[in-house]
Structure 1
């Protein structure tokens, strides 16, 4: 299991350099982006101190990464700690906007239509919140189906599974993508996130973009497919899918692996694509930053509808949502110290946790934004 995980992670490390090309980074000189941040991260100064006990809440997809960051933070800044509640992206944003935590973790950006951007600005004393992407990872279509270890799905077929248009594993549409496979006459049991989740938002954006009109339910952090059984958090859906033959869910790669789920290939129009280092790298190559200045919002939607051969199209980035200004001096100092550690020495343990360490050039973009927090 760990070998598979490291394969995907290594692909993300290599592909992270390509992300900077797509973003137009001035710092992406030849060879610079291909190096992990871990190599010289210890040289980045960290000004410890300020608030002793920070609090944050949100994305369960990044919980294991945050645990790694907290450990590194405590080693670098003795007596300093962060308490992270992996309650889901939606809950994290609500707690941040309600001034109940110091920052939020979210798998999708703040929503203007829901008033989240305005609420965050109010919470930040009239200043905008920034999105700082610290954790990257692919989303797996994880399933458990006895006798079927190799399965291909398309965006259109996945949409029909998750909105109830396809109910049986031997449906002709699935069979057409899996010539020669012995598919059972078994009911498909959809498992979805019942709590508000950025993973759900990204997954539904993918379905909306890649399904050729089969997904009409829209996107958002609440699952809108109208079928299946809901479970809370990434661990909850992965555990539920892993316990029932015929189940399928959408979940971050590490959770799918931990629960021994099979992972479907995705046919984006150019043939079946396995989730691995090369295919994830090709997908991240298309990512662009659509935020301005130090607000590093990524435009991943362009990936979802791509028909690039060999590109795995289902990815997410997890943001730390922070106030650009508006913290008291002690809180700002501690947040900057924690995020600096997270973006530098904290990256060293991410591969073992199933995530992708930041490439050096993207690390520098994050450090610039972190330094500007006030």
Structure 2
């Protein structure tokens, strides 16, 4: 994970005018992280526009609905343009908040800090979900796949479903000789980067490409966004893809090899990876990025950690209050439960939320 290892220092550049029509009072939207009594604590109105990671789309729908029900004069819009598009729009000032399946790298962080100005950037994991290795094989719902097999398949080295690398760990499966069709993301995707990071970390001798948001292999089938790759995989027999587990519909899924066992994806097994991973050292107080450990026994190692991005300081109080209020709702018990129910994501632990919430509560207007 390429992220800055030195302390962040906010520049004097203020955020440019944002394309929002907002009105809000000077209340404290983050005063009640539990979500209880939040309707009386908030007095907000206006429109808040953001976007980014498509993996967060289902969760965002739940968060938007819950927050707007508590604040009926507020409209929150989220455009699932992909992580790359979300980061670009946040850095340019077009989005006052964004979702990204990868932490800002050094160059992006420097540009974002210049845009945000005083206080710098707020960045924390707001959404954790397993990335499923999902396939379409008639009559087969699950398969055991080692990291070597997964990397070999997506690298194009294992090309048939009855290959010994697959059959050896699935003696009871009636594997066809069907050709394997890999479906990957066509857009700049944090899910792609997370998936490649897993492969490059665990089996670097098989997956030799450096992790990035753009898929490195040409000639394979591709589609836009999470829903796009899932639809493409559903449309053809013998397909395989990687996608946020909450959106894989009726596709079959892999149990992934970790040590001597094969682990089924669950939100709890994915969240345990973050709980057992260290925070990157040398970042600012408001930046919570993690070096994920992919080999913890009993955990599901292909995990998507999707970050929420905001500025610590906005040019006007209306923007600051709306972003702070919305992000405080997301971190509340109610917000986390809504995402878990709607998207199947892993609720953040109270320990992690206690770490992130002070940074959200510190969001303010330039003085």
Shorter chain as denominator, the TM-score bin is 0.7 to 0.9
Q: Is the 8 A contact 1:275 1:312 kept in 2?
A: yes
CA distance in 2, matches of 1:83, 1:101: 10
Query: Given the alignment of the two structures, is residue 208 of structure 1 paired with residue 221 of structure 2, yes or no?
Result: no
Distance verdict in 2 for CA 1:96–1:213, change over 3 Å: same
Q: Which residue of 2 aligns with 1:83?
A: 77
CA distance in 1, matches of 2:112, 2:64: 24
SS for the counterpart of 1:289 is: coil
Q: Which residue of 2 aligns with 1:198?
A: 190
Q: Which residue of 1 aligns with 2:349?
A: 359
Q: Which residue of 1 aligns with 2:300?
A: 312
Q: Which residue of 2 aligns with 1:150?
A: 142
CA distance in 1, matches of 2:45, 2:117: 19
CA distance in 2, matches of 1:51, 1:99: 21
Q: Which residue of 2 aligns with 1:123?
A: 115
Q: Which residue of 1 aligns with 2:14?
A: none
* Count of residues in Structure 1 that have an aligned counterpart in Structure 2: 329
SS for the counterpart of 2:168 is: helix
Which residue, out of 219, 222, 233, partners 2:225? 233
Which residue, out of 338, 350, 353, partners 1:349? 338
Query: Given the alignment of the two structures, is residue 135 of structure 1 paired with residue 127 of structure 2, yes or no?
Result: yes
Q: Is the 8 A contact 2:183 2:239 kept in 1?
A: yes
Q: Which residue of 1 aligns with 2:42?
A: 48
Q: Is the 8 A contact 1:241 1:248 kept in 2?
A: yes
The superposition leaves residues 170-229 of structure 1 with CA deviations (integer Å, 9 ceiling, x where unpaired) of 122222222343321111011111111111110000010112410011111111133421
Q: Is the 8 A contact 1:48 1:333 kept in 2?
A: no
SS for the counterpart of 1:156 is: helix
Q: Which is further off, 241-250 or 287-296?
A: 287-296
How far apart are residue 80 of structure 1 and its match? Answer: 1.1
TM-score when normalising by structure 2: 0.83
CA distance in 1, matches of 2:155, 2:223: 17
Q: Which residue of 1 aligns with 2:55?
A: 61
Q: Which residue of 2 aligns with 1:5?
A: none
Give the unaligned 5+ runs of structure 2. Answer: 1-31
Q: Which residue of 2 aligns with 1:23?
A: none
Distance verdict in 2 for CA 1:211–1:225, change over 3 Å: farther
Superposed, 1:204-353 pairs within 5 Å as 204-256=196-248, 258=249, 260-276=250-266, 279-280=269-270, 282-290=272-280, 291-300=283-292, 302=293, 304=294, 306=295, 308-344=296-332, 345-353=334-342
Q: Which residue of 2 aligns with 1:165?
A: 157
How far apart are residue 46 of structure 1 and its match? Answer: 7.4
CA distance in 1, matches of 2:233, 2:40: 42
The superposition leaves residues 39-91 of structure 1 with CA deviations (integer Å, 9 ceiling, x where unpaired) of 94315687535661111010010111111111121122231121110010000
Question: Which structure exhibits the higher relative contact order, with contacts defined as CA atoms closer than 8 Å and separated by 6 or more residues?
Answer: 1
Q: Is the 8 A contact 1:72 1:342 kept in 2?
A: no
Distance verdict in 2 for CA 1:128–1:51, change over 3 Å: farther
Query: Given the alignment of the two structures, is residue 181 of structure 1 paired with residue 173 of structure 2, yes or no?
Result: yes
Q: Which is further off, 58-67 or 289-298?
A: 289-298
CA distance in 1, matches of 2:108, 2:268: 36
CA distance in 2, matches of 1:227, 1:46: 56
CA distance in 2, matches of 1:103, 1:214: 37
CA distance in 2, matches of 1:59, 1:169: 31
CA distance in 2, matches of 1:218, 1:338: 35
Give the unaligned 5+ runs of structure 1. Answer: 1-37
The superposition leaves residues 85-140 of structure 1 with CA deviations (integer Å, 9 ceiling, x where unpaired) of 0010000001111111111110110112xx21111111112643221221111110
How far apart are residue 280 of structure 1 and its match? Answer: 3.7
Distance verdict in 2 for CA 1:286–1:226, change over 3 Å: farther
Higher helix share: 1
How far apart are residue 245 of structure 1 and its match? Answer: 0.8
The superposition leaves residues 230-273 of structure 1 with CA deviations (integer Å, 9 ceiling, x where unpaired) of 111111111111121100000111111x2x01111111231222
